[in-house]
């Protein structure tokens, strides 16, 4: 009998009791290799002594102070560190408790920016199919996953969804990757134009598509073309790096590899590496300046903004990543990891595609390789795979089913950087 409102109401998952390094142990003494870092969260593995010490010290000194009364040293230091290492143009970090919260804040910041600029008629967001931005209502509205949206659809703000960058299924045989990226950017431009001049607030996209996409890496030039389209129409670019950011792809931000900088970028999972619920929105200088020149107040907030213990955990995680040279390790080992996956699974009759960067890999499963025909969703391949892997002591993160007309079962591997 359980009184926890578990997501699956008819079954209770095994009870995790301890974790160390890359392993989690359950109440029956079974040990699991955490090959997906939970949901691409755990960057340093479990029980890292530096993080524990930093959290303990912060708890002893100051566990909580509401941000309407105080700032704290630790929040200031974390924001300094985030801005020091941020994509070009970022000037302030808004510190929250997780990914969905970061997305809600970014959407509202983007909207308020235009209100402050005297452009209140900008009311519309454009996002991508097969994306995931979180489960709160704003994040769900921009998320491109009909299955998650469906029961709540009447409650969601309207948003336009354009094609994701999904070369395995959607790049035409007569197109180069660059031409494909250009075609997608043109589709975005058409969607902006269709809304009418000055109506779109922002385009939001995961730099590398994660949970609902099975690790969709952008083709070369795609994000440069997207950035130009946004600039041409005065539309903000919000990059969601909640899953792919903070080193997961081998650079601190995945957008560094695309040679562009967004107006707003969200991070969460790898920021605190699972030690505390923590996320952030990094805001471009122009956004912060417009808001401080205008009302001088962001009309948004939560009780646990900038929570000192969460900030201490995040700061410690980020310091270990830099001190121990883990970005280089993710790049080098990640490359080998990809080669190894291709060697081990590349010829498997039900593996359609293996794609990724750094320690962020997706394996797309198909019923038939030649036609790329997906499995019948009724077979629930992903759920069975997750269960079988757990039986064998492996944690991987599968997703399946129909996503806005795109099918596919995939498995996500995102091991701790250590
Ligand atoms: N954005 C992306 C890209 C995500 O992968 C997720 C979670 O998987 C979220 C946002 C939502 O984050 P959270 O689950 O912390 O609310």
Spatial separation of the C-alpha atoms in residues 141 and 299, rounded to whole Å: 20
**Residue 404 pLDDT level (bands cut at 50, 70, 90):** low
- For ligand 1, say whether the CB of 210 is within 6 Å of any of its atoms: yes
Q: For residue 298, give the nearest of 108, 32, 38 by alpha carbon.
A: 108
State which ligand 1 atom lies nearest to the alpha carbon of 206: 3
Spatial separation of the C-alpha atoms in residues 85 and 87, rounded to whole Å: 7
DSSP β-bridge partners for residue 24: 19, 32
- For ligand 1, say whether the CB of 290 is within 6 Å of any of its atoms: no
pLDDT digits (tens, 9 = 90+) for 8-24: 899 999 999 999 999 99
Structural contact between residues 373 and 379, judged by C-beta atoms closer than 8 angstroms = no
Spatial separation of the C-alpha atoms in residues 285 and 293, rounded to whole Å: 12
CA angle 347, 353, 357 (to 5 degrees): 115
Query: Distance of CA 104 to CAs 19, 133, 160, 240, Å?
Result: 31, 9, 17, 11
- For ligand 1, say whether the CB of 360 is within 6 Å of any of its atoms: no
Provide φ and ψ at 93, rounded to 5°: -115, 130
Counts of helices then strands in the chain (DSSP H, E): 14, 15
Q: What is the pLDDT of residue 147?
A: 82
Spatial separation of the C-alpha atoms in residues 100 and 198, rounded to whole Å: 27
- For ligand 1, say whether the CB of 261 is within 6 Å of any of its atoms: no
166-177: average pLDDT: 96
Query: Per 3-state DSSP, what percentage of the chain is helix, strand, and coil (rounded to 5)?
Result: 40, 20, 40
222-249: average pLDDT: 98
Ligand 1 pocket mutation, candidates 131, 269, 273, criterion most atoms within 8 A of CB: 269
Q: Which ipTM score applies to this complex? A: 0.99
Instruction: List the domain boundaries for the chain.
Output: 16-47+325-413, 52-323
Q: What is the pLDDT of residue 403?
A: 56
**Residue 380 pLDDT level (bands cut at 50, 70, 90):** confident
CATH class entry, domain 16-47+325-413? alpha beta
Ligand 1 pocket mutation, candidates 36, 37, 99, criterion most atoms within 8 A of CB: 99
- For ligand 1, say whether the CB of 204 is within 6 Å of any of its atoms: no
**Residue 173 pLDDT level (bands cut at 50, 70, 90):** very high
Task: Answer yes or no: is pLDDT of 145 > 90.
Answer: no
Cα 369 to ligand 1 centroid, rounded to whole Å: 30
Q: Say which CATH topology domain 52-323 has.
A: 3.40.640
318-342: average pLDDT: 97
Residue 202 C-beta-side C-alpha neighbours within 13 Å: 23
| Distance in angstroms between the alpha carbons of the first and the last residue of the chain | 37
Q: pTM for the complete prediction?
A: 0.97
């Amino acid at each position: 009998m359980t009184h926890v409102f578990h997501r699956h109401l008819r079954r209770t998952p095994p009870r995790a009791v301890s974790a160390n390094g890359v392993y989690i142990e359950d109440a029956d003494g079974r040990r699991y290799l955490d090959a997906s870092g939970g949901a691409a969260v755990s960057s340093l593995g479990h029980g890292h002594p530096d993080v524990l010490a930093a959290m303990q010290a912060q708890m002893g000194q100051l566990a909580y102070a509401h941000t309407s009364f105080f700032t704290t040293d630790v929040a200031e230091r974390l924001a300094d560190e985030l801005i020091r290492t941020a994509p070009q143009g970022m000037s302030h970090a808004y510190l929250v408790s997780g990914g969905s919260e970061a997305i809600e804040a970014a959407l509202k910041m983007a909207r308020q920016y235009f209100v402050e600029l005297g452009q209140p008629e900008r009311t519309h967001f454009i996002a991508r199919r097969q994306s995931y931005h979180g489960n709160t209502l704003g994040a769900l509205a921009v998320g491109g996953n009909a299955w998650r949206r469906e029961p709540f659809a009447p409650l969601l703000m309207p948003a336009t969804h354009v094609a994701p960058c999904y070369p395995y299924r959607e790049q035409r045989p007569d197109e180069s990757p660059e031409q494909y990226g250009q075609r997608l950017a043109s589709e975005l431009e058409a969607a902006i134009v269709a809304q009418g001049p000055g109506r779109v607030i922002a385009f939001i996209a995961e730099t590398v598509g994660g949970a609902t996409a099975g690790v969709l890496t952008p083709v070369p030039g795609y994000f440069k073309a997207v950035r130009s389209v946004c600039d041409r129409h005065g539309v903000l670019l919000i990059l969601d790096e909640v899953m792919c950011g903070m080193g997961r792809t081998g650079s601190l931000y995945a957008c560094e590899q695309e040679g562009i900088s967004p107006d707003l970028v969200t991070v969460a999972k790898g920021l605190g590496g699972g030690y505390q619920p923590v996320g952030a929105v990094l805001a471009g200088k122009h956004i912060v300046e417009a808001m401080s020149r205008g009302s001088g107040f962001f009309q948004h907030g939560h009780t646990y903004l900038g929570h000192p213990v969460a900030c201490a955990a995040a700061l410690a995680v980020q310091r270990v990543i830099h001190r121990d040279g883990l970005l280089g390790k993710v790049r080098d080992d990640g490359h080998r990891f990809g080669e190894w996956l291709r060697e081990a699974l590349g010829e498997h009759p039900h593996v359609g595609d293996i794609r990724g960067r750094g320690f962020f890999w997706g394996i797309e499963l198909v019923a038939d390789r030649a036609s790329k025909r997906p499995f019948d969703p009724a077979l629930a391949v992903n759920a069975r795979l997750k269960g079988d892997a757990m039986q064998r002591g492996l944690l991987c993160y599968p997703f399946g089913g129909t996503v806005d007309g795109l099918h596919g079962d995939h498995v996500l591997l995102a091991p701790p950087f250590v």
